[in-house]
Amino acid sequence: MKLNQKKFEGLKIGDRIPLFTLKDQNGALWKSNERTLGKITVIYFYPVNGGNTSKAQARAFSEIFTTFSLAGIQIVGVNSANVASHKKFAEKNNLPFKILSDTGNIVSMQFGVKKGIFIRGRETFIFDRSGVLIYKFRNLFNGEEHVERTLDFLAVQV
């Protein structure tokens, strides 16, 4: 399915989370309209499973997972790999959060995640308990900075 890229210019602060359904690393459906309301939700897009930057970013988010969960904040990773690849990545890195499979890059386009020469970008989006975008950050090369910025932003919000 080919989409008009102009239609997907990206989310702006104050926009509502797009409606989408993707499979997680266990093959279970994850529906944005059911899973995000009532929780602060951190959704981070990353280019590939297995890259050093992606591993470091996932592990850094894992380190804050329990603290975030206790505060009612959920973390969700997304990229274009298939469910089997996500399962392997999650198990190898002991990830306690959901990794969603966006094989057609439809959701990343809805969010406006920039595409590099060969791969999709690395961007983090934070939604409030009503599903409204309150923060976004882009940096392809430093995955751990996404975690630092998320912590800094949420420290003054929560």
- Report DSSP state, residue 113: -
81 in Cβ contact with 89 (< 8 Å): yes
Helix (H, G, I), strand (E, B) or coil at 56: helix
Residue 97 exposure: Cα atoms within 13 Å on the Cβ side:
26
Q: What is the model's pTM? A: 0.89
**CB atoms < 10 A from the CB of 94, how many?**
9
Give 47-89 pLDDT, tens digit per residue.
988 888 889 999 999 999 999 999 999 999 999 999 999 999 9
Q: pLDDT category, 97, cuts 50, 70, 90? A: very high
CA distance 21 to 143: 25
On the question of pLDDT at 143 being above 80, the answer is no
Please state the φ and ψ torsions of residue 121, each to the nearest 5 degrees.
-80, -175
Residue 56 Rama label (left phi>0; alpha psi -120 to 50; beta): alpha
CA-CA distance, 140 to 137, in Å (whole number)? 10
Q: What's the pLDDT score for residue 22?
A: 98
| pLDDT score at 50 | 82
Mean pLDDT of all residues in 95-105: 96
Beta strands in the chain, from DSSP E residues, in sequence order: 21-23, 29-31, 40-45, 73-79, 98-101, 123-127, 133-138
Mean pLDDT of 110-139: 89
Alpha-carbon distance of 92 to 135, in angstroms, equals: 30
